[in-house]
Structure 1
Amino acid sequence: MVTSFPQLRGEAANHPLARVLRTVSADSCPGRLNFHCHTTCSDGSLHPRELARQAAAIGLEHFAVTDHHSMAACPQVQAALNELASEGVTVPTLWSGVEISCLLEGCLVHVLALGFNPDHPALAIYLRGEAVVGPALRSEAVVAAIRAAGGLALLAHPARYRLSHQRLLTAAAAQGFDGAEAWYDYAMQGCWAPTPLVCEAIAGALAERGLLQSCGTDTHGLELRGR
């Protein structure tokens, strides 16, 4: 089964995925951890089963599929992992994940929801295949829904928006985000690697605020090691 946490109790620090995210560093992705990738169930090119095969072949320990507003790939990925495990292949732990659009400081951003209960009604409106409109698009509403479903809310690729990552991280911290994607390939290279300086700055800002750091390839192509 997909690893999730049905009800967040106390602070985010008690979430089981938080223990994994505390180990994130510049060299965690793409070989050990990957909490941002896409399949054909949204705007990716990898079939869910192929993504699962590549995740196992790379040797990932933990990962999440974060299609936009969709959990359709998750059962297919888990089924493929189960088949590989039955053949004696070491497979990674799959955490529930989805990428949700929202407004933060009036800027359209993406939030990675991780480790939540996919069946919780609070998230249903965000799992219909497209971004919502109205009050539910506000970041406060999105974070509240993720929390209600027992998940963690992390700001995706903070340096890809029209507002500075400094401003967005300050706002995210004030609104109860649990962290952000610190390590990201803004240069979009063929083989994923974190972008110097900007990633270090984001990681430092998160550490100062006591927030969690994530990492991910944001794969949309055919190779899980690249974007």
Structure 2
Amino acid sequence: MLVGWGRVLSVESHPLREVLRDVGPDSCPDICNFHCHTQCSDGSLQPLQLIEQATERGLSHLAVTDHHSSASFLPMLDWLNQRRQRGDKVPTLWSGMEISAILRGCLVHVLALGFEPGHKALAVYNSGDAAVGEDLRAESVCRAIHEAGGLAILAHPGRYRVGFADLIDAAAELGFDGGEAWYDYDMQTRWSWSPVVCEAIDRRLKNLGLLRTCGTDSHGLNLEGR
């Protein structure tokens, strides 16, 4: 099922917020995955291969976040609708995209989740390449995601040259909705969150009242790992 776009909601009442409130370190990779890739950017799986694997694994919630592309979304949605009509249990699919941005002078990645597909506000970020100039600023990215009805999430805050505490604080000041709290910084064959850094990121996000997500950041042939 697709929920959470456009005319149905405001950012404050986005239905994905309720889902993310229940997400914890044990949610990924078997229940939720809000960060993964297909051949529409730099992943190895074709979109239908990925959604079929997610369905076979029994995922409840999924967002595919290709870099500067949402091309995989509608084909996967059509596939899920066909399976649902057959009576199969399928994941809830949320629109997603991973967008490059400059935050505190650092190039970071922002996950856009649950936005209206095809919304003009995201057109500059949905062309296969990073934006330039003013559009590359994190505040511009966050504003565009919100205009499209989506949530703005700081991806893997512990992977940048600027410390995660400074980046999370800066994202909060700009109105970001949350951050990727649980992530496999060791990039293991089977996803497992990295306790020390993830616990610290989780605490910082929680103290700021921000949402926390999880994702495998899969680029290979298996959604269980990166």
Tell me which interval the TM-score lies in, with the shorter structure as reference length: over 0.9
Structure 2 counterpart SS, 1:154: strand
Task: Tell me the equivalent position of 1:155.
Answer: 154
Counterparts of 1:25-104 in structure 2 under 5 Å? 25-104=24-103
Give 3-state SS (helix, strand or coil) of 2:6's partner.
coil
Deviation for aligned residue 1:156: 0.2
Q: How far apart are 1:186 and its partner, in Å?
A: 0.4
| Helix, strand or coil at the partner of 1:131 | coil
Which residue number in structure 1 is paired with residue 126 of structure 2? 127
> 1:6 maps to what in 2?
6
Amino acid at match of 1:47: Q
Q: Specify the code of the residue in structure 2 equivalent to 1:186.
A: Y
2: distance between equivalents of 1:76 and 1:64?
13
Provide the secondary structure at the position in 2 that maps to 1:28.
coil
| Unaligned residue ranges in structure 1 (runs of 5+) | none
Q: Is the 8 A contact 2:3 2:15 kept in 1?
A: no
**Does the CA-based 8 Å contact 1:7-1:148 persist in structure 2?**
no
Q: Structure 1's 156 and 8: CA in aligned 2 closer, same or farther, altered over 3 A?
A: farther
The 3 A distance-change label for structure 1 pair 8 and 167 is farther
CA distance in 2, matches of 1:131, 1:41: 14
The answer to whether structure 1 residue 180 and structure 2 residue 167 are counterparts is no
Q: Deviations over 1:126-174 (max 9, x none)?
A: 1001101111000000000001111100000000001000110010111
For residue 59 of structure 1, report the CA deviation from its aligned partner: 0.8
The Cα of 1:7 is off from its aligned counterpart by 4.7
Q: Which amino acid aligns with 1:66?
A: T
Give the superposition deviation at 1:78.
1.4
Q: Which runs of 4+ in 1 moved over 6 A?
A: none
SS at match of 1:99: strand
- Contact 2:4–2:14 (CA<8 Å) still a contact in 1? no
**In the aligned structure 2, how far is the partner of 1:209 from the partner of 1:138?**
22
The TM-score, its normalising length taken from structure 2, stands at 0.96
Distance in 2 separating the partners of 1:126 and 1:36: 17
Tell me how far apart the structure 1 counterparts of residues 135 and 8 of structure 2 sit (CA, whole Å). 21
SS of corresponding position for 1:197:
helix
Q: SS in structure 2 opposite 1:186?
A: coil
CA contact under 8 A between 1:13 and 1:19: conserved in structure 2?
Answer: no
- After superposition, the CA RMSD in angstroms is 1.3
Q: Report the residue type matching 2:224 in the other structure.
A: R
* Maintained 8 Å contact 2:42/2:66: yes
Asked if the contact 2:153–2:178 (Cα under 8 Å) also holds between the matched residues in 1, the reply is yes
Q: Which residue identity does 1:184 align to in structure 2?
A: Y
Which SS does the other structure have where 1:193 is aligned? coil
**Secondary structure in 2 aligned to 1:14?**
coil
Q: Give aligned pairs, total.
A: 226
